[in-house]
Chains A and B, each alone.
Chain A
Amino acid sequence: MSEPLVRAKGLTKKFGDFLAVDSIDFEIAKGEAFGFLGPNGAGKTSTMKMITTVSPITDGELTVFGLDPRTEGRAIRQRLGVVPQEDNLDLELTVAENLYVYGRYHDMTRARIRSRTEELLEFAQLSDRAKSQVEPLSGGMKRRLTIARALINEPDLVILDEPTTGLDPQARHLLWDRLYRLKQQGATLIITTHYMDEAEQLCDRLVVMDGGRIVAEGSPRQLIRQHAPGEVVEIRFADGQIETMAERMTEVALDTEVLADRVILYTEDAEATQHELTVRDIHPEQVLVRRSTLEDVFLKLTGRRLID
């Protein structure tokens, strides 16, 4: 196997006493779309910033393109495209000028920037906006422009930190479509997200982070099979009944989770589970049967507590 594009071993980031990233290991191969999943504050962005060489490593090892971010940050950044969590476009400039400035940061000639800008605006479906100012563009357009800007230098690795957070469904799907095309063209992508559907759509492989640690790793399919097998039965009760009902539900399913408003049963056979409920004289107000998703894995691994 060829040298991984990114390799981390015992990678750690501390801010004062706060441990943001707690000794994580991972490897990302060329051509892979690799996801970092986790709730807010899990350490995803800190990890991205260390890979981008804009946040010094506290401890452990990290190589990007086989280079050390501590000493060869600039050489690494030359080959990176970075889409930050918050757009940091220059709102006073036009769409094309935003690309121009970054092209110059990357030491590209004006002619090269011009031809690249044309390609990228077409890719980002912004060609007719080349001369518009950025300020009035929609959130989705700004996001696509940020992605186009990240691609100006034809990067070997594109890092996307929560690329679709805050976008409406149409804008998200359009963006996914673009990212999928990028992947088809052979780009290596690192994506952080807390949207499971995003991870399922885009990632070949992913890690789930929680509290600065990696709690699971694999392809979306592997993770579902491993952590949330088969089917899910979600049941709801009338007010105040949940606690007492839940006590009577032991062993009706492989795994049971009691939430404030419903109980979630993980099972290999939903029908058998439902039958078991009837046998025990449990009659919920509402029953929903569905296949388990990455979201179930995520919630199971990172807990359902409200994180903010």
Chain B
Amino acid sequence: MSALTRPFRVMEGELVSYRRTWRGTVISSFVNPILFLSAMGVSLGKLVDTGAGELAISYLSFVASGLMAATAMQAGAGDGAFPVMAGIKWRKEFFGAITTPISPTDIVVGRFYWGVIRLTFILVVFAVISVLFGALEIGHALLAVPPGVLTGLAFLTVVTAFTVTREDDTSLSTMFRFGIIPLFLFSGTFFPISQLPDYLQGFAYVTPLFHGVELVRKIALPDVDASVVTDLPIWVHLAYLTTMTAVGLLLSSRLLERRLKP
């Protein structure tokens, strides 16, 4: 077995467990977009669109594109947090895996592959539901899936690295409360960051979900103007998220090695 095929064995293990637990997660993959798009997109959207809004597109389209990235972030961060804590602390199955030819790096990479599959599924579902809501066009919505997946992977890898250094799930809840939720609310998902006070705008530029939202939105809604998105070129977002993913992968592999092989 080579360094390339071993992680697939870890991914296969994840698939086998997923066969047992898929129901809950699949239902939320369908239900969450419907709830969010009805509440925020349709209902709140009516208010926004009839007000003195400056958006050149419907609020529903705006929010759908933003939520696609935000959903990827939440799924990626979730996969990097609790299952990883289970592997090192609760069930300790990672400690078992490394007594076979599997290494900590194989675990990290295998879970990364699995993340690609899971995020792709979640985002395709999201894209299709957005189309059914009339928020996005099918072609553009599907084109926005890969950038969405990249956004999710950036969070998956960095959150994995963080989790590996933690001892319990209180620090994970703290991370969600003070990291993921503020990002969710202030990264341009629900309103253009031009609405933020100037000093916060600059801050938003360096946060990861902002780049995810911008990237997905620029691809899902290619004709939008400066009232909706910033004029940063797409490659900046791609470079940001790719770098974050690569650093996350490297860090989590190193840290997991240290954690599992003291």
Seen from chain A, the residues whose Cβ lies within 8 Å of a Cβ on chain B are 15, 52, 54-56, 74, 77-78, 80, 82, 84, 86, 88-93, 97, 100-102, 104-107, 133, 153
Contact = CB atoms under 8 A, between A and B. Distances in A.
A191 to B, nearest CB: 16
Given A92-B21, A107-B9, A78 B101 contact: yes
Nearest to B103: A74
Contact of A77 (B91, B99, B262): B99
A101 B16 contact: yes
A92 B97 CA distance: 16
Nearest to B12: A104
9 contacts: A54-B99, A54-B260, A54-B261, A56-B261, A74-B103, A77-B99, A88-B92, A106-B101, A133-B20
B1 A107 contact: yes
Contacts of A153: 100
A82 to B, nearest CB: 4
B100 A102 contact: yes
Contacts of A93: 16-17, 20
Contact of B95 (A77, A88, A91, A105): A88
A48 B96 CA distance: 13
B48 interface: no
Contact of B262 (A15, A78, A91, A101): A15
A88 B261 contact: no
Given A88-B93, A101-B12, 6 more contacts: A54-B260, A82-B99, A90-B13, A97-B16, A105-B13, A133-B20
A33 to B, nearest CB: 20
Nearest to A73: B103
Listed from nearest, the 3 A-B pairs whose CB atoms lie closest are A82-B99, A105-B100, A88-B96
A133 B101 CA distance: 25
B246 to A, nearest CB: 25
A146 B3 CA distance: 26
A57 B261 CA distance: 11
B125 interface: no
A54 B102 CA distance: 11
A56 B16 CA distance: 31
Contact of B91 (A54, A55, A88, A104): A88
Contacts of A55: 261-262
A102 B9 CA distance: 9
Contacts of A100: 16
Nearest to A97: B16
Nearest to A90: B93
Interface string B1-42: 100000001101100110011000000000000000000000
A15 B10 CA distance: 30
B98 interface: yes
Contacts of A74: 101, 103
B91 A91 contact: yes
A105 B9 contact: yes
Nearest to A146: B96
Given A52-B99, A54-B98, A104 B13 contact: yes
A259 to B, nearest CB: 36
Given A77-B100, A78-B101, A93-B20, A104 B9 contact: yes
Given A84-B95, A106-B101, A92 B20 contact: yes
Nearest to A82: B99
Contacts of A52: 99
B96 A84 contact: yes
Nearest to B104: A54
A105 B110 CA distance: 12
Contacts of B99: 52, 54, 77, 80, 82, 84
Contacts of A133: 20
Contacts of A77: 99-101
Contacts of A102: 96, 100
Interface string B84-116: 000000011101111111110000000000000
A130 to B, nearest CB: 14
Contacts of B97: 105
Contacts of B96: 82, 84, 88-89, 102
A92 B262 contact: no
A107 B101 contact: yes
B16 A105 contact: no
A164 B88 CA distance: 23
Name, among A55, A100, A104, the residue most crowded by chain B CB atoms within 10 Å (CB to CB).
A104
Contacts of B20: 92-93, 133
Interface in B213-227: none
Contacts of B92: 86, 88
A43 to B, nearest CB: 14
B17 A90 contact: yes
B6 to A, nearest CB: 8
B100 A106 contact: yes
B91 A105 contact: no
